[in-house]
């Protein structure tokens, strides 16, 4: 009998590989996207040794080719809390709260991901997870029908639930249990082309909002996209068209910069897929559904509250200046305005560091060991000024801490471009983090606190290492 427990990081890594393989068979175009991204990344690393070196220093180089994120949409509080327990088996915890109702998408969301830098480097897999807000549907009869349909479905296999319980009892899974868990957990994310609802109900749900039909009309929360990370999103966006993956009109997020910040994203449009609707007489009726797509992302440095406030201000300034939601017809103009407006955001790491706009790792520079040999008093360097002096001397280098999370305005843009939606919905922007956390069964982590912690710990480690004369 072998009761040695395997790490959650290992289960997460295996699971993300299995998920990617499944999605490539379900949506072959996603496989083409992976190839394109790998090609562009290899070229960037060859042409820009500085970028390669930076990724080596931060430990991100090995994870670059791994999966980055996927997304699912859930229907009930019970589904969300069980999903939290399922992700916990893989060391993934809810980070951040995103309210998308003000942008016309009736959900609120979190991202399940690993928390510490080392675990993230082992497997950065994350899942943007949304909970449908039926309370935003104004048609009471339809709301009731939707609730009934959701109450009748069970998105988890019995075996995965018992494995989750086993994980919670024994504090981990054996490798055999881990393998079984991966296989069973995958079932929840699989695509089902036979729906449990009639075409007639589906169409009424669709008329309310494409997202409601996508959640309520199906047996489970099919993974709706997977997103590899690219080092040059502009080049990939350009090539997507040629490779038969028409991209959305604009890249979401900040403009192209020397020193990337936060997150830039684009996607190819969702595919129209054949589905069979189960009518009341038990017969199936043909139809189609549009939900699944492919996305790419380019990640940059995580911003402090101060940096983020500036980002939010500039983004809304650019959108205000455009005077419309960015789309095909105004994309060129939008990109020009965005680039202009963002000249107000410093574009070198040292200034971003000095102005406390972004989070950084502090690392001792090997060749500078002798400069610091007289640095016996650690108290002395525990001020920002002293740390800056060491950076100027070349004893400490700073490296960007990559942003691991999402952006609500961008996420809304991704949602909108992938839903069959003619009309723009408007929801009363009553954000409800408390209700979300109640459904989740716990509070979400504050992402800013996590970055600050990583930064502080790296500074501590760096100073100790310098103080010891290494």
Q: Is 224 among the residues that bind ligand OOG (CB under 6 A)? A: yes
Distance of closest approach, residue 418 Cβ to ligand OOG, in angstroms? 6
Within 130-169, which residues bind ligand OOG (CB under 6 A)?
130
For ligand OOG (CB under 6 A), the number of binding residues is 12
406 touches, from ligand OOG, Ni ion, none (C-beta below 5 to 8 Å by class)? ligand OOG
| Comparison of 290 and 458: residue with beta carbon closer to ligand OOG | 290
**334 is an interface residue for ligand OOG by CB under 6 A:** no
The pattern of x and - marking residues 68 through 87 that bind ligand OOG according to CB under 6 A reads ---x-x--------------
User: From residue 328, how far is each of 105, 248, 313, 317, 333 by CA, in Å?
Assistant: 20, 8, 24, 20, 10
Binding partner of residue 224 among Ni ion, ligand OOG, none, CB under 5 to 8 Å per kind?
ligand OOG
Q: Counting contacts by CB under 6 A, is residue 265 touching ligand OOG?
A: yes
Rounded to the nearest whole angstrom, what is the least distance from the CB of residue 295 to ligand OOG in the complex? 6
Return the residues of window 277-316 that contact Ni ion according to CB under 5 A: 295
Residue 110 token pair: 């979190």
- Residue 410, binding choice from Ni ion, ligand OOG, none, Cβ under 5 to 8 Å by partner class: ligand OOG
Q: Which stretch binds ligand OOG (CB under 6 A): 20-28, 172-180, 412-420, 439-447?
A: 412-420
Q: How many CB atoms are closer than 10 A to CB 28?
A: 10
Give the Cα separation of 415 and 406 in Å (integer): 13
Nearer residue to ligand OOG within complex by CB, 41 or 224: 224
- Among Ni ion, ligand OOG, none, the one that 156 touches (CB under a kind-dependent 5 to 8 A) is none
Instruction: Find which of ligand OOG, Ni ion, none residue 372 binds, CB within 5 to 8 Å per kind.
Output: none
Following DSSP, what letter does each residue of 419-466 receive, concatenated? S--SSPP-------HHHHHHHHTSPPB-HHHHHHHHHHHHHHHHHHHH
Give 337 or 414: the residue with its C-beta nearer to ligand OOG.
Answer: 414
Task: Give the residue among 304, 273, 278 at the shortest CA–CA distance from 290.
Answer: 273
Closest chain position to ligand OOG (CB): 411
Q: From the list Ni ion, ligand OOG, none, which binds 397 (C-beta under 5 to 8 Å, kind-based)? A: none
CA 48 to CA 238: how far, in whole Å?
20
Q: Where are the beta strands (DSSP E) in 279-319?
A: 284-290, 294-299
SS3 content of the chain, % helix, strand, coil (to 5): 50, 15, 30
Site for Ni ion in 59-98 (CB under 5 A): 71
Distance in Å, CB of 99 to Ni ion, minimum = 17
Order across the sheet with 93-99: list the strands: 93-99, 107-113, 126-132, 69-74, 226-227
C-alpha R_g of the chain: 23
Q: Which two tokens stand for residue 429?
A: 């922007």
Residue 416 binds: one of Ni ion, ligand OOG, none (C-beta under 5 to 8 A by kind): none
Contacts of residue 198, Cβ cutoff 8 Å, sequence gap at least 6: 277, 278, 279, 280, 285
Q: Is 411 in the site for ligand OOG (CB under 6 A)?
A: yes
Is residue 218 at the binding interface for ligand OOG, with CB under 6 A as the rule? no
Query: At its nearest, how many Å lie between ligand OOG and the CB of residue 263?
Result: 8
Give yes or no for a contact between 281 and 250, defined as CB atoms under 8 angstroms apart.
no
CA distance 15 to 42: 25
Dihedral pair phi/psi, residue 282, rounded to 5°:
85, -5
Least distance to Ni ion, CB of residue 82, Å? 22
Count the Cβ atoms, other than its own, within 10 Å of residue 258. 7
Q: Which partner in Ni ion, ligand OOG, none is near 134 (CB below 5 to 8 A by kind)?
A: none
Angstrom CA distances, 297 to 320, 323, 359, stand at: 25, 26, 20
Angle made by CA atoms 315, 130, 223, in degrees to the nearest 5: 110
| Residues near Ni ion, by CB under 5 A | 71, 227, 295
Give contact residues for ligand OOG (rule: CB under 6 A). Answer: 71, 73, 128, 130, 224, 265, 406, 410-411, 414-415, 418
């Amino acid at each position: 009998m072998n009761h040695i427990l395997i790490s959650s990081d290992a289960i997460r890594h295996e699971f993300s590989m299995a998920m990617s393989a499944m999605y490539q068979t379900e949506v072959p175009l996603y496989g083409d996207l992976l190839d394109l991204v790998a090609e562009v990344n290899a070229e960037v690393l060859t042409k820009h040794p500085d970028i390669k070196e930076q990724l080596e220093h931060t430990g991100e180089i090995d994870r670059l080719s791994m999966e980055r994120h996927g997304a699912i949409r859930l229907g009930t509080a019970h589904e969300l809390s069980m999903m939290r327990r399922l992700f916990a088996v893989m060391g993934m915890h809810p980070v951040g709260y995103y309210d998308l109702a003000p942008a016309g998408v009736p959900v609120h969301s979190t991202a399940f991901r690993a928390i510490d830098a080392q675990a993230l480097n082992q497997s950065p897999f994350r899942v943007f997870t949304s909970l449908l807000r039926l309370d935003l549907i104004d048609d009471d009869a339809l709301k009731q029908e939707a609730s009934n349909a959701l109450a009748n479905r069970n998105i988890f296999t019995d075996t995965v639930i018992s494995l989750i319980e086993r994980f919670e009892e024994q504090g981990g899974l054996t490798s055999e249990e881990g393998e079984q868990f991966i296989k069973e957990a995958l079932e929840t994310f699989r695509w089902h082309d036979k729906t449990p609802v009639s075409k007639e109900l589906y169409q009424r749900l669709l008329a309310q909002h494409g997202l409601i039909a996508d959640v309520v009309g199906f047996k489970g929360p099919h993974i709706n996209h997977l997103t590899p990370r690219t080092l040059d999103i502009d080049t990939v966006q350009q090539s997507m068209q040629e490779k038969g993956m028409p991209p959305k009109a604009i890249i979401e997020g900040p403009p192209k910069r020397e020193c990337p910040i936060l997150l830039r994203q684009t996607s190819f449009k969702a595919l129209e897929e054949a589905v069979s609707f189960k009518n009341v007489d038990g017969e199936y009726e043909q139809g189609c559904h549009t939900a699944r797509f492919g996305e790419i992302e380019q990640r940059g440095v995580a911003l402090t509250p101060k940096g983020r406030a500036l980002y939010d201000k500039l983004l809304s300034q650019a959108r205000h200046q455009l005077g419309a939601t960015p789309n095909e017809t105004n994309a060129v103009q939008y990109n020009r305005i965005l680039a202009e407006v963002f000249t107000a955001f410093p574009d070198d790491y040292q200034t971003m560091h000095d102005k406390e706009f972004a989070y950084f790792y502090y690392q001792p520079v090997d060749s500078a060991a002798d400069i610091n040999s007289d640095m016996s008093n650690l108290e002395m360097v525990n001020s920002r000024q002293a740390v800056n002096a060491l950076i100027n001397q070349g004893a400490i280098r700073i490296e960007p801490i990559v942003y691991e999370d999402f952006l609500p305005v961008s996420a809304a843009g991704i949602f909108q471009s992938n839903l069959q939606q003619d009309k723009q919905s408007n929801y009363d922007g009553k954000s409800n983090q408390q209700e979300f956390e109640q459904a989740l069964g716990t509070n979400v982590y504050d992402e800013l606190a996590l970055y600050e912690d990583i930064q502080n710990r790296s500074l501590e480690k760096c100073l100790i290492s310098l103080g010891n004369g290494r």
